[in-house]
Structure 1
Amino acid sequence: MQKRSRTILFVLCIFLFLLAAPTVLLYFQGYRFDFEKKELVQTGGLYFKVLPASSQVYLDGDFKKRTSGFTGSVLIENLIPREYQVEIKKAGYHSWQKNLEVWERRVTEAKNVILFPQNPDFTIVNEMPKVEMMATSSDKKKVIKANNYEIRVLFPEKGEEVFIARFSKKIGNIFWLTNHYLIFSVGDKIKISEIDNRDKINIVDLAEFKNPKIFWDKEKKDLYVESEGKIYLFDDLLP
């Protein structure tokens, strides 16, 4: 290669480097081009902590990541700031769905996601322990406020109230499943509801019995159902 050609090639490489360097630098600083807004924006992220572990996370219908097999957590980075349709699912479990907003330089969190089994295997038992039904959550920060057809949750320290749901059939016993989920019966169905009211509240139908009366043993994490003179036990509700 002649000296003139080498010089031209060297100058061209320098020019391309100087042209690409700002773009590469902005990329590693978390900037992306938003084609809808037609502008350069700084990205955000989504963080999830899910039970059971190794669940799949989808954004706008596309698979993104699987949660950790050990911690059940996952961080999805470099997202253009906007609203995303989130679905978390695992075979054999009800999926969790919610629209969540992502902002620049911020991570939106959903740290209390639980997927519940679609076909719980109840066994018949002879007796059940004495279970106390408490209106106040274990962390003492939330209180159930309910009547025969409606459920709300109060946050006394914040002075806030979250509307959970209204039903056409009578609500039976209500228990705190965790500090972030309620379990209760409505008519013949046993339901579980989260209390996260960002977008829609996820409520799943866990099982169906004739006029069930439910009892939740939070110490042993056992669910008892009394129906038609029999007592049923499901001891694998929480992973």
Structure 2
Amino acid sequence: MNRTWRTILFFSFLLMFLVSAPVIVLYTAGYRLDVMAGRITHTGVLNATSIPRGATVLIDGVLKSDRTPTVFDDVFPGEHLITLQRSGYTSWEKILEIKSRETTFIANALLFLDSTFENQESRTVSFYSLSPHRDQLAYLISEGSWIELWVTDPSTQSERLLARITEAAGADYAIRWSKEGTTIALFQNGSSLETLSLITVATGETLSVPTTLERASKFWWDVAEDDYLYAEQAEVVYRVSLSTQEVELVSYNAETIMHQNEDLILSSASDRMVLSRYQDKTATILTYLPVGSYQFRTAPSGLALLEDLDRHRLILVDLSSQDQPILLNEEAYSWDWSKDGDRLVFTDG
């Protein structure tokens, strides 16, 4: 090859490099050519999850190759019609605004069984709740003078009647799952009647409620131990073990409590809240928080996650740190732990 051809090849490759390198960098950074707008645009990200998993995703009617859970990092800014579909289920559809350089979440979009609606089309669902593992849906329907508790399993396309209680006029109802989803607490709060029913999900067996708790005004499940249920009565907190039916009086004042090898207590102290660790009846203050309406939420071992229901904030606390125990204190309207439990994903809008 003579010198002229070598020079031509050199400058050809140099030109290709000078053109392709910026294109690759821009593409990696999320820039795409918007043919309709006639310009290069920085795209947005769409993160989609559904219950059940494996739903196909359509953006503006265009079928995408990935199934939920999935992430699309090449969506142009603007309003898009997002559709999630799976055979045997009703479709989920919504117009969402995708913003440049931002991630838009579709968190656990619920796809209902077609057969469920065919069977229950004449009934009104008054309350529903997903299991902690998001593999079952519990819901209440009114049938004559009864309130019925049903559970449906999308993976097997089955539904079961778990319990039936007398309907009270004007009463409010709530469903609360235990940590592992083995037991459901069904609350009925009426003007003249307040009841608590505990139902085993696997068998539908109704567990007896200790008489000590029959007049309790507040209940909550332990977020770390599946066996524990807490109840507050006349400003006294009790801990109930479902397996042994033992009722333990909690000897310290608590707004809320959880057990993770030791008791974690959130209590009020004049103009602030105090998060403390109790071990062998000895208290160690972990951190102080602003006054609020907090609830413990599920978190990996060694961490405590508190949700401020009034301010829509998440507070993540490292139980092993004494200097800087608060790892996160952010506004959050929707959140979830990753499958591996090592990442907390949340959105503030």
Structure-2-length-normalised TM-score: 0.38
Does the 8 A contact of 1:214 with 1:226 survive in 2? no
In the alignment, is residue 235 of structure 1 matched against residue 151 of structure 2? yes
Structure 1 distance, partners of 2:119, 2:103, is 31
Question: Counterpart of 2:12?
Answer: 12
Question: Counterpart of 2:93?
Answer: 97
Report the residue type matching 2:152 in the other structure: D
In the alignment, is residue 118 of structure 1 matched against residue 114 of structure 2? yes
For residues 93 and 17 of structure 1, do their structure 2 counterparts lie closer, same or farther at Cα, with a shift above 3 Å needed?
same
The DSSP-based 3-state class of the residue aligned with 1:50 is: strand
For residues 78 and 217 of structure 1, do their structure 2 counterparts lie closer, same or farther at Cα, with a shift above 3 Å needed?
closer
Question: Counterpart of 2:292?
Answer: none
The DSSP-based 3-state class of the residue aligned with 2:120 is: strand
Question: Counterpart of 1:70?
Answer: none
Greater share of strand: 2
Q: Which runs of 4+ in 1 moved over 3 A?
A: 212-220, 222-225, 229-234
Residue 20 of structure 1 deviates from its aligned partner by 2.1
Greater C-alpha radius of gyration: 2
The DSSP-based 3-state class of the residue aligned with 2:100 is: coil
For residues 216 and 26 of structure 1, do their structure 2 counterparts lie closer, same or farther at Cα, with a shift above 3 Å needed?
closer
* Higher RCO structure, 1 or 2 (CA under 8 Å, sep 6+): 1
Does the 8 A contact of 1:117 with 1:206 survive in 2? no
What are structure 1's unaligned runs of at least 5 residues?
Answer: 68-72, 121-189, 191-204
The DSSP-based 3-state class of the residue aligned with 1:91 is: coil
1:49-60 mapped onto 2 (5 Å cutoff)? 49-60=49-60
Residue 32 of structure 1 deviates from its aligned partner by 1.0
Structure 2 distance, partners of 1:26, 1:206, is 52
Residue 61 of structure 1 deviates from its aligned partner by 1.2
Alignment size in residue pairs: 148
The DSSP-based 3-state class of the residue aligned with 1:17 is: helix
Report the residue type matching 1:8 in the other structure: I
Residue 223 of structure 1 deviates from its aligned partner by 4.4
Report the residue type matching 1:208 in the other structure: E
Question: Counterpart of 1:107?
Answer: 103
In the alignment, is residue 34 of structure 1 matched against residue 30 of structure 2? no
Structure 1 distance, partners of 2:40, 2:70, is 26
Question: Counterpart of 2:143?
Answer: 226
1:60-71 mapped onto 2 (5 Å cutoff)? 60-64=60-64, 65-67=66-68
In the alignment, is residue 87 of structure 1 matched against residue 83 of structure 2? yes
The DSSP-based 3-state class of the residue aligned with 1:98 is: strand
Structure 2 distance, partners of 1:217, 1:111, is 17
For residues 216 and 12 of structure 1, do their structure 2 counterparts lie closer, same or farther at Cα, with a shift above 3 Å needed?
closer
Does the 8 A contact of 1:52 with 1:114 survive in 2? yes
Question: Counterpart of 1:207?
Answer: 120
Structure 2 distance, partners of 1:224, 1:238, is 18
For residues 24 and 231 of structure 1, do their structure 2 counterparts lie closer, same or farther at Cα, with a shift above 3 Å needed?
closer
The DSSP-based 3-state class of the residue aligned with 1:221 is: strand
In the alignment, is residue 43 of structure 1 matched against residue 43 of structure 2? yes
The DSSP-based 3-state class of the residue aligned with 2:10 is: helix
The DSSP-based 3-state class of the residue aligned with 1:119 is: helix
Residue 26 of structure 1 deviates from its aligned partner by 1.1
C-alpha distance after superposition, 1:132-169 (max 9, x if no partner)? xxxxxxxxxxxxxxxxxxxxxxxxxxxxxxxxxxxxxx
Structure 2 distance, partners of 1:216, 1:2, is 82
Does the 8 A contact of 2:78 with 2:97 survive in 1? yes
1:72-221 mapped onto 2 (5 Å cutoff)? 73-120=69-116, 207-209=120-122, 212=123, 221=138
Residue 114 of structure 1 deviates from its aligned partner by 0.3
Structure 2 distance, partners of 1:213, 1:15, is 68
For residues 206 and 97 of structure 1, do their structure 2 counterparts lie closer, same or farther at Cα, with a shift above 3 Å needed?
farther
Does the 8 A contact of 1:79 with 1:102 survive in 2? yes
What are structure 2's unaligned runs of at least 5 residues?
Answer: 132-136, 156-349
Structure 2 distance, partners of 1:3, 1:22, is 29
Structure 2 distance, partners of 1:52, 1:105, is 29
C-alpha distance after superposition, 1:4-51 (max 9, x if no partner)? 212211121112211222222111111111222222111111112210
